[in-house]
């Protein structure tokens, strides 16, 4: 799992160059290019489908995500297979609970972890980078050295430690993952800010006596938006994968709630026992979502990069 920082930085410089010449029509152009990218378009539709599934799926499920079907408990391999007549469209999990309802609910959690985690990372990273870049000088130096230091701390290990120390909650999960993922974003944002700093509209704002923090929030941050969007689409899958690893360690969400990671690791544990559907369905949603985010990210990057026509 990786996010291609190099390409994003490049995109940032290309765009900065472009904006001076072309101005307004850029986003219209980008949209046209994006819509021409079939893989990205299909991904967008798929992702929308997953979103609909997670939002409205529970309406068509005859079972809730926590109800045990006592009739099949203990004989899931024989009686819990996917079917319409028993009401378990995706079959049942090891505890006789409806897998359809659980996948719906797990999708909600996983998407939420992905999006909230990415949001925190992007928010903190963008602001941090923008402030460092705009301030420059000593403050910039100190702030970026702090990023260096944080980057040398083993990421996954700190996360495990945090979860052990502060107990377990979904909230901590989001915050924990978000808080250790903003470092790359801050570097990108800073680089971008450095080049924006010398633009006329910023200099104009400085000349009219606007406060530095207002300049950062009003003029710098909005101009970072394109790059932030691209980076986010690549960060979301990373968050989802991280969550799945934490769930695998048994440190994830609490029962009766579940997530893709928890469902997949349960399914993987029992796959040789004749209940393959327990792995297949969550895996399917997991994979198409991750695929979609990758293709959308690639598509956005290509669409927003004026160099690639």
Task: List interacting residues with another protein (CB under 8 A).
Answer: 1-2, 4-7, 66-68, 70, 73-75, 77, 94-97, 145, 148-149, 151-154, 156-157, 160-162, 164-165, 167-168, 237, 241, 244-245, 248-251, 254-256, 261, 264-265, 268-274, 279, 283, 286-287, 290-291, 294
Q: Which residue has the tokens 């079959």?
A: 91
Q: Which is nearer to another protein, 51 or 251 (CB)?
A: 251
The residues near 117 (Cβ < 8 Å, ≥ 6 apart) are 174, 177, 178, 181, 235, 236, 239, 242, 243
Q: How far is the CB of 89 from another protein (least distance, A)?
A: 21
In the complex, least distance from residue 73 CB atom to another protein, rounded to whole angstroms? 5
Q: Minimum CB separation from another protein for residue 25, in Å?
A: 24
Shorter beta-carbon distance to another protein: residue 219 or 302: 302
Which one, 97 or 197, has the nearer CB to another protein?
97
Measured from the CB atom, the residue of 102 and 219 that comes closer to another protein is 102
The nearer residue to another protein, 5 or 210, going by C-beta atoms, is: 5
Rounded CA-CA distance 83/81 in Å is 6
How far apart are CB 212 and another protein at their closest, in Å?
27
Closest contact distance (angstroms) between CB of 308 and another protein is: 8
- What Å distances lie between residue 76 and 62, 84, 283, CA to CA? 18, 16, 19
What gap in Å lies between CA 129 and CA 189, rounded to an integer?
5
Listed residue (3, 48, 64) closest to 238, CA to CA: 3
64: preceding bond cis by omega (within 30 degrees): no
Rounded to whole angstroms, the Cα distance separating 289 from 225 reads 23
**Minimum distance, C-beta of residue 31 to another protein, in the bound complex (Å):** 22
With a CB cutoff of 8 Å and minimum separation 6, the contacts of 99 are 82, 88, 90, 91, 92, 93, 263, 277, 278, 281, 282
Q: Which is nearer to another protein, 152 or 208 (CB)?
A: 152
């Amino acid at each position: 799992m990786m996010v291609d920082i190099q390409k994003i930085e490049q995109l940032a410089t290309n765009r900065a160059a472009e904006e001076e010449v072309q101005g307004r029509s850029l986003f219209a152009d980008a949209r046209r290019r994006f819509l021409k990218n079939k893989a990205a378009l299909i991904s967008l539709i798929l992702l929308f489908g997953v979103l609909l599934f997670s939002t409205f799926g529970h309406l068509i499920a005859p079972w809730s995500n926590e109800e045990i079907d006592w009739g099949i408990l203990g004989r899931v391999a024989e009686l819990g297979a996917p079917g319409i007549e028993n009401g378990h469209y995706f079959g049942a999990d090891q505890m006789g609970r409806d897998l359809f309802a659980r996948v719906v609910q797990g999708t909600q959690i996983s998407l939420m972890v992905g999006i909230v985690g990415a949001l925190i990372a992007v928010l903190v990273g963008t602001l941090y980078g923008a402030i460092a870049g705009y301030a420059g000088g000593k403050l910039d130096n100190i702030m970026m050295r702090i990023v260096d230091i944080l980057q040398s701390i083993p990421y996954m290990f700190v996360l495990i430690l945090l979860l052990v120390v502060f107990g377990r909650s979904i909230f901590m999960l989001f915050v924990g993952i978000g808080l250790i993922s903003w470092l790359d974003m801050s570097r990108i944002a800073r680089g971008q800010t450095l080049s924006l700093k010398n633009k006329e509209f910023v200099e104009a704002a400085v000349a009219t006596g606007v406060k530095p923090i207002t300049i950062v929030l009003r003029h710098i941050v909005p101009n970072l938006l394109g790059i932030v969007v691209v980076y986010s689409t690549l960060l979301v899958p990373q968050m989802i994968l991280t969550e799945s690893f934490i769930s695998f360690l048994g440190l994830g969400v609490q029962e009766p709630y579940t997530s893709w990671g928890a469902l997949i690791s349960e399914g993987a544990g029992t796959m040789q026992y004749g209940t393959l559907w327990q792995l297949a369905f969550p895996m399917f949603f997991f994979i198409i979502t991750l695929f979609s985010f990758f293709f959308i990210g690639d598509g956005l990057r290509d669409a927003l990069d004026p160099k690639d026509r």
